[in-house]
Amino acid sequence: MSLPLPLDAFNQSLLAQVHPPDWVNPTPLKCYDLLVIGGGTAGLVTAIGAAELRLGLKIALVEQSLLGGDCLNWGCVPSKTLIAVARKVDQIRNASRFGIHCPQAPIVEFAKVMERVRQVRADISHHDSVERCHQAGIDVFFGTAQFRDPHHLQVQQQLLPFKRVVIATGARATIPHIPGLEAVPFYTNETIFNLTELPQKLAIIGGGPIGCELGQALQRLGSQVTIFQRPEQILPQEDFETAQLIALQLQQDGIEIKTATQIHQVIATANQTQIEFQSPKTNPEIQSVTVDEVLIAAGRTPNLETLNLEAAGIEVQPGRGIVVNDYLQTSQSHIFAVGDVCQAWKFTHAADAGARIVIKNALFSPWGLGRSKVSRLLIPRVTYTDPEIASVGISAAQAKSQNLKINVLTIPFTDVDRAVTEGDTQGFLELVLSDNCDRILGAVIVGHGAGELISYITQAMGTNQGLTRFSQTIFPYPTQAEILKKAADRYYQATLLRPGSQALLKLVRWLAR
């Protein structure tokens, strides 16, 4: 187990909740109705959700490291806490545009910033604690889990028989094959929050959501950040316009972005690291930069290696993880997998939604009746840069690649009064609609609070409500959410002006007279 450092009062409080130092594994029962491997979001929601139904099920949860998994310990909670501080620093630095003049630049006490990160994480940890599992009647085992056969799991020296098992072991940072990297100390998302001193110069290998979020936060807190990205744009899952908008903001913050770049090698020097790279499109020569620290943010790899999946006859696909069907069953029908170990969307909320499907399919679908499909989930995603990026459904590019007839509607935040008053007009709402009707196929929001706004659209799509529903909704004025009403009004106006709508328009004019 990798301990969260430093072992101050906050991290000790965290450990007391999610992996008590004096913990002794219980004596296993003769057979468990449900055995869950992995105590991250997917595993906890599965185990606690099933236990709190009070059906008298015998349930066990096995965790190798810390309960709470990525989200609590190395992901959502610490990263968003750090991002919140960085945003406040940026607001102070740029307060002069609001008529507020600070005689001196803000002084960032980085050690205290990280202390607050550890405090927030400790304060939230009771939700994922051993005590909560114990109160729900769950047997908690700490240790490495290995299958002995399709119905037995070994944890340390104990054998746990089971009727059904759920694999929710999550994923970890992918370490790219770069010459010299194994000899250089580097951080991943699992260790970056151990920092107590701000790196003066930081290289981030990978320009996806994790690299951009943490890069912007640490840059605003005072580090000089360089992002290295192999593809031609950062955030390659986004369309070019969105990625370019974020790239410009990161560059305004002072970040150096090296896209379409190949790192040839890294070399350890005295207390620093030299990175040799080549960007053929901008400079064919091999260049180098020397940094104090390196953060690897080059994707995620499912955690499979220690499970001995062959003994259970579970199919695995390299790079993808455990192979599951639409009901989250593995090649063994009584063995399920959920979360980052198998799902394409590696988000906390996707793991939560998947776990709820597993509970239903494993416990409440006899002979396969009434099962739920993971393919029917409508999963929004958010990148927590400033401005934020939020999306759901399909993009305009995806719709066109599927030869779908669509109508794309775009509203800039400059049209939203609340955005103007806040001084946050950067960004837009883009809606992908079915042609000739108001059915929403997808949406992208770039701007302040995009992660909150996307839920309105997700709900509308999930309940088959069209865009015109927003015209009938009264939004408080002024709010950012008014952008949805403006989009609906724009759609109405455009509909009336279509060539085929002239007869309707004449009728409306006659009625108005």
Detail the residues annotated as belonging to a binding site. Answer: 80, 206-213, 299, 340
Of 217, 168, 172, 178, which is closest to residue 191 (Cα–Cα)?
172
Q: Any residues with CB less than 8 A from the CB of 458 and at least 6 apart, and which?
A: 378, 380, 392
CA distance 341 to 321: 6
Q: Phi then psi for 445, rounded to 5 degrees?
A: -125, 125
Helices (H) and strands (E) in the chain, counts: 15, 23
The residue whose two tokens read 């992660």 is 451
Cβ atoms of 429 and 410 within 8 Å: the answer is yes
Q: Strand (E) positions, 207-330?
A: 224-228, 256-258, 262-269, 272-279, 283-291, 293-296, 300-302, 316-317, 321-322
Bridge partners (DSSP) of residue 275 are 266, 289
CA distance 427 to 136: 45
Return the CA Rg of the chain.
Answer: 25
Residue 237's Cα: distance from chain center in Å? 13
Give alpha helix (H) positions in 331-395: 348-363
SS3 assignment, position 190: coil
Q: Any residues with CB less than 8 A from the CB of 121 and at least 6 apart, and which?
A: 10, 14, 72, 73, 77, 78, 81, 193
Give alpha helix (H) positions in 269-409: 348-363, 396-401
Q: Annotated binding site for FAD: which residue ranges?
A: 80, 340
Beta-strand pair 262-269/272-279: antiparallel
Q: What angle do CA 119, 383, 239 make, to 5 degrees?
A: 170
Helix H or strand E encompassing 488: helix 482-496
Give the count of beta carbons closer than 10 Å to the beta carbon of residue 336.
29
The residue whose two tokens read 């740029």 is 94
Q: Annotated binding site for NAD(+): which residue ranges?
A: 206-213, 299
From the number of C-beta atoms within 10 Å of its C-beta (0-12, 13-18, 19+), residue 307 rates as buried
For the chain, first and last CA: distance in Å? 77
- The DSSP secondary-structure symbol of 282 reads T
CA distance 447 to 254: 20
